[in-house]
Structure 1
Amino acid sequence: MKMKQSMLAACMALAGFAMSGTAAHAADIKFGFAAPLTGPQSHYGEDMRNGLLLAIEEANAKGIEVDGSKANFILVSKDDQADPRIAVQVAQQLVDEGVDGVLGHFNSGTTIPASRVYYDAGLPQIAMATSPEYTLQDYETTFRMMTSDTQQGAAVGKFIVEKLNGKKVALIDDRSAYGQGLADEVEKAVKAAGGEVVRREYTSDKATDFTAILTNIRGVAPDAIFYGGLDAQSGPMKRQMVSLGITAPLVSGEMTRSDTFLKLAGSAAEGTYASLAGVPLDQMTAGKEFAESYEKRFNKAPGVYAPYAYDGAWNLITAIQNANSAKPSSYIGKLADLERSGATSEHIAYDDKGDLKEISVTIYEVKDGKWEMVETMVSSAN
């Protein structure tokens, strides 16, 4: 009899433990994340993930309550390998795992096909992707972490013509959604500013030899060359430009504005220009504080994307707080109407497409082996 009572007590204790575990799990709020975490673009994905982790850890330390329970924010990470096909697969995996929102993907080429999966599931998605197509799909679930290519390309094209006196411009892109999309917008802006596109060439995000296309470009003697694509290509490209005696400056987008480009290009990097959505870290609203927290947590300086990922995570967390619910249908309206001051800007808010209302683009130049700011342009999308 005593043995039965002991077994009954033990079972009741286990049941109580299980129930308490279930209650704790009910307060878990899971954010899906997908980006390249292996391969040549893994440094982008790692930088983005670190920014997200920092925000989530800070939120958990604050003891935020949602619907009467202390929230435990969790990041569920997936490696999409910068591959659109794999991106769709991992997007479905995140949906099947019951995430409450999505922070990703990184590349436009992966974000756009994956966004349909999240839209069908009714999951809000805040992506790093900059291609205009992402938010032109009329999905109420799509939001950005940084300025779009339409906004960035307009600023870059104008800079090339007016500040670099680039009346004759050659364009190269890697045929990715990001690279081609940004080059298309730069082409429009160059023509609008009175410049001429004298040559347009194409490569891929796997290429390493650009001698043939650069030789073709050298023949039309451009004043500037714009490249839409990754640092893994722009670094070797700049070295080959120097080897071929091409003196026209190379101009590129934010994926080139990296330490990886400086390493790959070596001494040939001098005089390269790159645009970056937003303002320099030391000029961001809370950039100094963010950098200190990031370095303390990860023992290295943040990259380009970390502060935008950090704000993207806090945008999602804030919307959930404002709705007092992690149910996507309950908080998506709060995300659309969001107005907050973050690390990257004092005025974070979305327009009706999910694009950021504040447009800020900074141009950098490589001087003495380092990226130095040339100028920053800030305006409103409205």
Structure 2
Amino acid sequence: MDGRRLYLVMVGIGRACLLVAVLTAVSLSPARADVTIGIAGPMGGSFADVGRDIKAGVEIAVAAANARGGINGEKIRTVSVDDKCEAETGAAVANQLIGKGVKAVIGHACTAAALPAARVYAGGGVLFLSTAATNPRLTDEKVGAGVFRMAIRSDREARAIADYLGKRFKGKRVAFVHDGSVYGQGLAEQAAKLFADDGGAVAMTEAFTPGEKSQNNLIGKIQDAAVSAVVAGALQADAAVIAGEMRTRGLNAALIGNEALALAEFKALAGDAAEGTVFFLPFVDKTRPEAVNLILSLEERQLMPTDTVFTAHAATEAAIAALAKGGDLAGAAAFLRKSGAATVLGKVTFDGKGDWREASYAPQVWRGDAFAPLP
């Protein structure tokens, strides 16, 4: 073989070896894969607005994180499911999300869906931050170290209501009514107990049948009790019926309720009877500098900057930071409890149970077609 042919052969062998080396290196290197975050909530029905706002908050936070490089260089993608605010559906969609390989889930606004879903995520090693489930059981039962609540426990809501009553209705009679649900009954009865313990006058505590077109019997009892205020543990449709029939009978008692009364459906159903209705929401400071970009993104989507959007966005930021810093579920959970995360709502940390430390309630009131913080 002459020198030129030998040279060409050697070059060919060298290139082949280089190609094999490159392919071997690629095959042995860990492949980068997207980090998937699940979005769960009521995407239809009476609570569709809540599901829409959760989805928007998560997606905007994910887009911002991806613009910064994702999680340790890996892009983040989202997948959403409709839990219908139902227990059976909540568990089913939680299993679906685990099957899709999610590392974290944001959402499950309704306690009915959040409780069974939390057990599924705990068993699957998935980080879970609920944005609105308020029943104490979600964190009290300690189903898993990775279960967190980016909302406020309902027992703290009862305390806020009792404090408000003590300031505004001291020495006056107050009625407490509820729909018999775990949430509604628990809230009304706890608020009544705290109000009574503080020296307040509890005129009555009464259950009603939810879903009725009229609450005539209940309104009659309220009228006979001669109260100055009515605290209702009820969803928006039932609260609207109560508000409307109270006004029809000429009752001037103030109506005080929970966060369901913030939904547009309550105002639409109650109409003018919604005027002056007081309810409690988590305090969300939308004036922080971090809020500017979120508000601009919401304007592009033609969405309102609701509290739900802000808490979902903050929960997503916390989950992303935890996954980036903590690695596995245990590390992510420890990060949220010890270090906390910088979010649109400021630094967010969680206590040993998984409850949001910085959370607090603020009274809101319906005035015209919108509600605003109560001065």
TM bucket by the smaller chain? Answer: 0.7 to 0.9
Give the corresponding residue for 2:342.
341
**Paired residue secondary structure (2:115):** helix
The answer to whether the 8 A contact 2:71-2:323 is kept is no
- Partners of 2:318 and 2:208 in 1: CA distance: 36
The amino acid of 1:183's aligned partner reads: A
Q: Per-residue CA shift, 1:340-370, capped at 9, x if unaligned? A: 33222x3311110111112321111222343
Give the corresponding residue for 1:37.
43
Could you tell me which runs of 5 or more consecutive residues in structure 1 were left unpaired when the two chains were aligned. 1-11, 376-382
Give the corresponding residue for 1:3.
none
The correspondence of residues 1-382 of structure 1 with structure 2, limited to 5 A, is: 26-66=32-72, 70-128=73-131, 129-138=133-142, 139-165=144-170, 167-203=172-208, 206-279=211-284, 281-282=286-287, 284=288, 286-296=290-300, 298-323=301-326, 325=327, 327-344=328-345, 346-375=346-375
Change (3 A) 1:209 1:278: same
**How far apart are 1:97 and its partner, in Å?**
2.2
The answer to whether the 8 A contact 1:285-1:342 is kept is no
- Partners of 1:184 and 1:123 in 2: CA distance: 34
**How far apart are 1:48 and its partner, in Å?**
1.3
Give the corresponding residue for 2:4.
none
**How far apart are 1:205 and its partner, in Å?**
5.5
The answer to whether the 8 A contact 2:65-2:71 is kept is no
- How many matched pairs? 349
The amino acid of 2:344's aligned partner reads: A
Q: TM-score, normalised by structure 2?
A: 0.85
Could you tell me which runs of 5 or more consecutive residues in structure 2 were left unpaired when the two chains were aligned. 1-18
**How far apart are 1:256 and its partner, in Å?**
0.8
The answer to whether the 8 A contact 1:348-1:356 is kept is yes
Q: Per-residue CA shift, 1:30-54, capped at 9, x if unaligned? A: 1222211111111111111111111
Q: Per-residue CA shift, 1:84-109, capped at 9, x if unaligned? A: 11111111222222211111211012
**How far apart are 1:140 and its partner, in Å?**
1.5
- Partners of 2:171 and 2:41 in 1: CA distance: 35
The answer to whether the 8 A contact 1:107-1:178 is kept is no
- Bigger radius of gyration among the two: 2
Identical columns (%): 27
The answer to whether the 8 A contact 1:207-1:233 is kept is yes
Change (3 A) 1:202 1:71: farther
**How far apart are 1:237 and its partner, in Å?**
2.3
Range 267-276 or range 144-153, more displaced: 144-153
**How far apart are 1:132 and its partner, in Å?**
1.1
Change (3 A) 1:203 1:286: farther
**How far apart are 1:72 and its partner, in Å?**
1.8
Change (3 A) 1:152 1:77: same
**Paired residue secondary structure (2:360):** strand
Change (3 A) 1:230 1:165: same
Change (3 A) 1:363 1:104: same
Q: Per-residue CA shift, 1:201-251, capped at 9, x if unaligned? A: 334664442222222222111221111232233223211211122210000
Q: Per-residue CA shift, 1:247-281, capped at 9, x if unaligned? A: 10000112212333222211111111111111353
Q: Per-residue CA shift, 1:93-132, capped at 9, x if unaligned? A: 2222221111121101211122111112222210021111
Change (3 A) 1:148 1:285: farther
Range 168-177 or range 211-220, more displaced: 168-177
